[in-house]
Amino acid sequence: MSDDDGRSSGEGDAARRDDAPAADLRDLPAFSDGRNHSLPGEPEWPVREVAVEYDPGWFVGGYDRVEQPDGSEKNYYWAELPPATVVIAVADDRVLFVEQYRPTVRNTQLELPAGIVERGESYTAAGARELAEETGFAPSSTSLLQEVWCSTGVLRHRRGYVFAEGLDPVDVDHDSNEFLVPRTVPVDEALSVAREPPTNDATLEGLLLAEHEGVL
């Protein structure tokens, strides 16, 4: 992935990080995918050091050395990923899923359509784009149900849940590394199907949010 000047998102940033004050990386320019290297605002627990140890280009891994309430210090490791969108798309009383193999957990999962939010995109715009790319359906209406922080014990990663309806067929445009098959499930069976192992957290959360909001 490249920034506006054509530089890949991982090039050059590492050198600037080395020159940055140890306690703060927030002045560095954001990656093209929207990662900001550090969180906004002042932390309640003082941060004594910030270190980036791994940067393959699409996420950053490192740690904050934090002073705890008892005065002791500890390294809290984190991985920072760009925001993601998850889409709950409904048409004709059926929920649209995609079935795909996940090498990370070595399982095939039935999931809600999802993907990375590109720089400058909203969750709803990204959701509409991902839905069209993965399933071949474009929504006429989208709404953001909820934004959440994910796996906060280790990740700096935000996720937005988007409800989509009014689906019209369009050409499918999978990414080169996407191997998935669209599926539909009746609305009244969607939660039961999503709970069948191997269970996907984003899918289950998205359906529960939609049900709570009264749109499922």
Residue 167 has pLDDT above 50, yes or no: yes
Residue 33 has pLDDT above 90, yes or no: no
- State the CB neighbour count (10 A cutoff) for residue 106: 8
pLDDT at 49: 87
Residue 12 has pLDDT above 70, yes or no: no
| Lowest mean pLDDT across 21-35, 43-57, 145-159, 161-175 | 21-35
How many Cα atoms are found within 13 Å in the side-chain-facing hemisphere of 158?
14
4 vs 43, more confident = 43
d(CA 179, CA 134): 9
Instruction: Please give the structure tokens belonging to residue 63.
Output: 């740690």
pLDDT at 203: 97
Confidence of residue 34 (pLDDT cuts 50, 70, 90): very low
Say if CB 171 and CB 136 are below 8 A apart. yes
pLDDT at 51: 86
pLDDT at 38: 52
36-51 pLDDT, tens digit each: 545 666 788 998 888 8
Q: Mean pLDDT throughout 181-209?
A: 96
pLDDT at 8: 36
86 phi and psi angles, rounded to 5 deg: -125, 130
67-118 pLDDT, tens digit each: 999 999 999 999 999 899 999 999 999 999 999 999 999 999 999 999 999 8
176 vs 113, more confident = 113
- Domains of the chain with bracketed CATH: 13-80 (no CATH), 84-212 (3.90.79.10)
pLDDT over 90, % of the chain: 62
Say if CB 216 and CB 190 are below 8 A apart. yes
Instruction: Please give the structure tokens belonging to residue 202.
Output: 């984003």
pLDDT at 57: 80
